[in-house]
């Protein structure tokens, strides 16, 4: 069977139904364990004091804010190339989750920034590109809401998503190629020497797993809702014609 058949709405509804409770359960388990471990059982940092505990929220949410947009980009490209309705609906479903992650990253960053940098906000490359990404999320959701025809909405939002991807990538790599601004380098890297100490790293990994699983579970749930909504609309149109 082709992979694309899983994107058939009926088949999508049937395979996601048993997966959903497991995804939410695992997300809850990882998130609760990671946050409790990080909050209650890790020491303060010698320079940041207890504000280091904000890392367990800020890093995973920032990571997911960018990855959610990348997922939307892939789904949008699939829609543009193959016209799979479920992929367009999955992109639409991911946007409110992505904007929530972006908002958490922006707010926790600002709250951490005041005691550490002496300011809630600075027009630093990473912060600014993140704010623009937030505005792109708003625009993307507004565009879906503003257009009645679902296929036209999917086409236009896909194009917007491609444009916004520039800022999603800028948000990720700004700290690497702009050596200016307040934001420090990436907290996590494949180069082990640059990573945070193990005592912070282990609960952070668990918290990241929780955010990834929660995003996955929410996108599945919301895509199922979008498919149902599309079906209700089709039935109502059929009723009004007869």
Partner 1 sequence: MIPDLGKYAAEVGLAYAVSLVLLAAIVGLSWRQSVIQRAALDAAEARKNG
Q: Alpha-carbon distance 69 to 136, whole Å?
A: 10
Residue 49 found at the interface with partner 1 (CB under 8 A): yes
Residue 224 found at the interface with partner 1 (CB under 8 A): yes
Choose one: 94-102, 137-145, 174-182, 193-201; the region binding partner 1 (CB under 8 A). Answer: 94-102
90 vs 97, beta carbon nearer partner 1 = 97
What is the crossing angle of helices 85-117 and 55-82, to 10°? Answer: 150
Q: How far is CA 157 from CA 95, 135, 173, 186, 224, in A?
A: 11, 14, 24, 30, 19
Residue 58 found at the interface with partner 1 (CB under 8 A): yes
Site for partner 1 in 123-162 (CB under 8 A): none
Cα 69 to its chain centre, rounded Å, is 6
How many Cα atoms within 13 Å fall on the side-chain side of residue 217? 20
Q: Alpha-carbon distance 17 to 55, whole Å?
A: 33
Are residues 92 and 225 in contact, defined by beta-carbon separation less than 8 angstroms? no
Residue 51 found at the interface with partner 1 (CB under 8 A): yes
- Of residues 104, 154, 209, 213, which one binds partner 1 by CB under 8 A? 104
Total binding residues toward partner 1, as defined by CB under 8 A: 37
Write out the two tokens for 55.
């890392």
Residue 238 found at the interface with partner 1 (CB under 8 A): yes
Choose one: 62-70, 80-88, 196-204, 217-225; the region binding partner 1 (CB under 8 A). Answer: 217-225
Residues within the interface to partner 1 (CB under 8 A) = 35, 39-40, 44, 49-51, 53-54, 57-58, 61, 96-97, 100, 103-104, 107-108, 111-112, 114-115, 214, 218, 221-222, 224-225, 228-229, 231-232, 235-236, 238-239
């Amino acid at each position: 069977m082709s992979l694309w058949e899983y994107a058939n709405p009926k088949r999508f509804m049937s395979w996601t139904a048993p997966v959903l409770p497991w995804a939410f359960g695992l997300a809850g388990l990882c998130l609760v364990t990671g946050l409790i471990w990080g909050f209650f059982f890790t020491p303060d940092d010698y320079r940041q004091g207890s504000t280091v505990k904000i890392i367990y929220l800020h890093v995973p949410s920032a990571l997911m804010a960018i990855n959610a947009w990348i997922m939307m980009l892939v789904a949008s490209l699939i829609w543009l190339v193959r016209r799979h309705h479920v992929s367009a609906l999955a992109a639409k479903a991911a946007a409110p989750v992505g904007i929530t992650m972006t908002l958490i990253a922006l707010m926790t960053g600002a709250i951490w920034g005041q005691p550490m940098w002496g300011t809630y906000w600075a027009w630093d490359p990473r912060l600014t590109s993140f704010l623009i990404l937030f505005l792109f999320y708003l625009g993307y959701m507004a565009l879906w809401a503003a257009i009645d025809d679902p296929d036209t909405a999917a086409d236009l939002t896909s194009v917007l998503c491609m444009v916004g991807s520039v800022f999603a990538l800028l948000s990720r790599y700004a700290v690497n190629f702009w050596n200016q601004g307040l934001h420090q380098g990436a907290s996590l890297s494949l180069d082990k020497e640059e990573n945070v100490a193990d005592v912070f790293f282990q609960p952070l990994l668990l918290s990241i797993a929780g955010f990834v699983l929660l995003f996955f579970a929410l996108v599945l749930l919301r895509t199922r809702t979008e498919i149902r909504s599309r079906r209700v609309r089709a039935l109502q149109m059929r009723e009004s014609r007869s």
